[in-house]
Structure 1
Amino acid sequence: MVQLNFNHLRYFWAVAHDGNLTRTAQRLNLTQSALSVQIRKLEQQLGHPLFERRGRQLHLTEAGRIALDHADAIIATGDELIGTLRDAGIARQALRVGALATLSRNFQMAFLRPLLGRANVELILRSGSTAELLQSLEDLSLDVVLINHAPARDKLTRFVAHRLAEQAVSLVGTRARLRKKGSLIERLRQHPLIVPTADSGIRIGFDALANRLGVRPQIAAEVEDMAMMRLLAREDLGLAVLPPIVVRDEIAAGRLVEAHKLPGLAETFYAVTIERRFPNPLVAELIHRKEKWGVGPT
């Protein structure tokens, strides 16, 4: 049985975090060639290259990213052991999740809930634009990306979009504002509206619906962030056009009311992964729950 050489692992760990072989060698008081030899020996033990060169830069391979996750846990546990001499802690598995900055926080929490509170799981959460997140997924710095539209897939991309849920979009407001009964058209004409920005799928669909209904809505606010839309709806700035999951807690508490479902409007939630030789098993655990989201395979 081949046993791991922890000196080799620590050298790899140092280079992976520095991202520069020369700088790491200087810091460790080693020659660059000696440090390279140590990393090659680790690669031989593991049977996979851990770095690839792109110009003058070192980048982790997929195997290198997995090795770094384990190295982080091993070295952290060793440091804790030295510090406490007992209760060295539990090896933790990292899951790196990226989410569209405007995506419902309630949906994100629902997706992650099975892992919350697990002592052996470390969640690393990042947000950004779709382009930024998908680039990070390709660079293997994220394990899964949560967005509201499926990315294009062709011979040059390896994205896999897992459809998790589809939420109807509704007109939502305070009880006071909705006390008087009215039809959808009447309410669209009578009340100011809080809507997503013009480039969002929901807004495009809503504008088309308003046109079909012959309504010219009064826009009180155009908002990119769903969390801000929720707050403005609670402040009674107007009726909000959003998926009810965004204001689930407020509806349950009676602070907001779902007045009308908007016909033909829905937001679809996707978990996007990339074809990998060594996928993170935690991702599959979360995605395989999708029968609980009420959607079938896509």
Structure 2
Amino acid sequence: MNHKHLFYFWQVAKAGSVARAAAAINVTPQTLSGQIGLLESSLGTELFARQGRNIVLTEAGKMALEYADELFALSAELEVMIKHHPQGRPTEFRVGVSDAVPKSLACTLLEPAIRGEQPTRLACREWQLDRLLAQLAVHELDMVISDGPLPPGFSVRAYNHRLLDSGVSFLVAREQAAAHAADFPACLNHLPLLLPGEDSTLRQSLQPWLERKRIGARVVGEFDDTALMATFGLRGVGAFPIASIAEAEFVASGELAVLGRTTEVQVSYFAISVERRLTHPSVLAVIEAAQRLGNPPEADKSGPN
């Protein structure tokens, strides 16, 4: 079997379209179609079937995709293991950071990776999780740091490595804090709220807690980017939640204060990698940095800090 033909099939199967796959890997649709035709000829069966204007996998195609997923995941793992063997340390560490991860936490986790014995160049990309996972799938990234595990149904084999857990703190502009902090969490009924976007794991964990506490949240803004949400909070637009472990980043200037904290809502951070057994020295440095982080502040304390 020609593995180049199999790679082209794999790209089309993941993209769901010859045109999208061709654009992603910078070849012409005609080349892709021709190479897949050769693969089908060598296997003696069709891997795709037409369904209106779309193409779908045949039963043989679905089977081939399962094997291709595993083959290319193992290939990536082999490359990492050989390339980053102790005798050949990496010169570049390519990391994707979900935009829901606080900047200070990302820095704390990643800094040890570039302060090791051998010089390492950090290439850090911040984007939405689905875009970063797409880059991880084609081995453009070594690791993704996210506020949640690998989503169900992701087509390429990858592995979750839990980094740490944190409770949640609610912050507000300091001038608003004194009037509201004494009766946390009931005070959230009287403040406009800024919340992470609906796809955020923090938002999904927070919603049931708000309902249990009978808090009728008046949501005035939703944000995919934590830093942007905090900027609106800083300007007095509303209170907002962040992981308690990153609290110091936001209150350091003295312009924001803590309304209260809870451990009833948990945020978990993960490293997502194509490595089943972690060997990449920079990834190991991130895991060790997470293990060294202390516990977040105690729960359910009120008052400006």
Aligned counterparts, 1:36-75, within 5 A: 62=76
Local SS of the residue matching 1:176: helix
Question: What residue identity is the alignment partner of 1:264?
Answer: E
Write the mapping of 1:1-298 to structure 2, written as runs, cut at 5 A: 62=76, 93-116=91-114, 120-151=119-150, 158-180=157-179, 181-275=181-275, 279-294=279-294
CA distance in 2, matches of 1:221, 1:63: 41
* Bigger Cα displacement from structure 2, 205-214 vs 102-111: 205-214
Cα distance between partner residues in 1 of 2:245 and 2:196: 15
Q: 1:92 to 1:205 in 2, by over 3 A?
A: closer
**2: CA distance, partners of 1:170 / 1:278:** 32
Pick closer, same or farther for the CA change 1:280–1:235 going to 2, 3 Å.
same
For residues 92 and 107 of structure 2, the distance between their equivalents in structure 1, rounded to whole angstroms, comes to: 17
Superimposed CA distance per residue, residues 256-284 of structure 1 (whole angstroms, 9 cap, x where no aligned partner): 12221135212111111123699432212
Q: Partner amino acid for 1:252?
A: A
State the Cα deviation string for residues 230-279 of structure 1 (Å, max 9, x = none): 11121111111222344523323322122211352121111111236994
- Report sequence identity in percent: 21
Deviation per CA, 1:204-245: give whole Å up to 9, x if none. Answer: 232222222222121121111101111112111111122234
The superposition leaves residues 124-145 of structure 1 with CA deviations (integer Å, 9 ceiling, x where unpaired) of 1113332332232232221111
Question: What's the secondary structure of 1:265's corresponding residue?
Answer: strand
Q: Contact 1:159–1:272 (CA<8 Å) still a contact in 2?
A: yes
Query: Partners of 2:253 and 2:259 in 1: how far apart?
Result: 15
Residue range with higher mean Cα deviation, 207-216 or 109-118: 109-118
Task: Return the TM-score normalized by structure 1.
Answer: 0.63
* Secondary structure of 1:182 counterpart: helix
Does the CA-based 8 Å contact 1:167-1:266 persist in structure 2? Answer: yes
Residues 131 and 199 of structure 1, relative CA distance in 2, 3 Å threshold: closer
Distance in 1 of aligned mates of 2:158 and 2:174: 43
Q: TM-score, normalised by structure 2?
A: 0.61
Distance in 2, Cα, partners of 1:192 & 1:224: 18
Contact 1:153/1:159 (<8 A) preserved: no
Q: Distance in 2 between matches of 1:152 and 1:63?
A: 20
Q: What secondary structure does 2:203 align onto?
A: helix
* Conserved 8 A contact 1:106-1:245: no
Residues 105, 164 of structure 1: CA spacing in aligned structure 2 closer, same or farther, 3 A cutoff?
same
Provide structure 2 residue ranges, at least 5 long, that are not aligned to the other structure: 1-24, 28-67, 69-74, 296-305
User: What's the CA shift string for 1:171-190, capped at 9, x where partnerless?
Assistant: 11122111125312431111
Distance 1:231 1:205, change over 3 A: same
1:151 positional shift = 1.6
Equivalent AA in structure 2 for residue 164 of structure 1:
L
**CA 1:276/1:166 → structure 2, altered by over 3 Å: closer, same or farther?**
closer
Compute the displacement of 1:19 (Å): 8.2
Distance 2:216 2:152 in 1: 37
After superposition, what is the alpha-carbon deviation per residue over 1:40-77, rounded to whole angstroms, capped at 9, x for unaligned?
xxxxxxxxxxxxxx9xxxxxx6499669x89xxxxxxx
What secondary structure does 1:288 align onto?
helix
Deviation >6 Å, runs of 4+: 63-67
Question: How many residue pairs get matched?
Answer: 220
Indicate the SS of the match to 1:165: strand
Compute the displacement of 1:158 (Å): 3.6
Which of the pair has more CA radius of gyration? Answer: 1
RMSD between superposed Cα atoms in Å: 3.5
Aligned AA (1:149): G
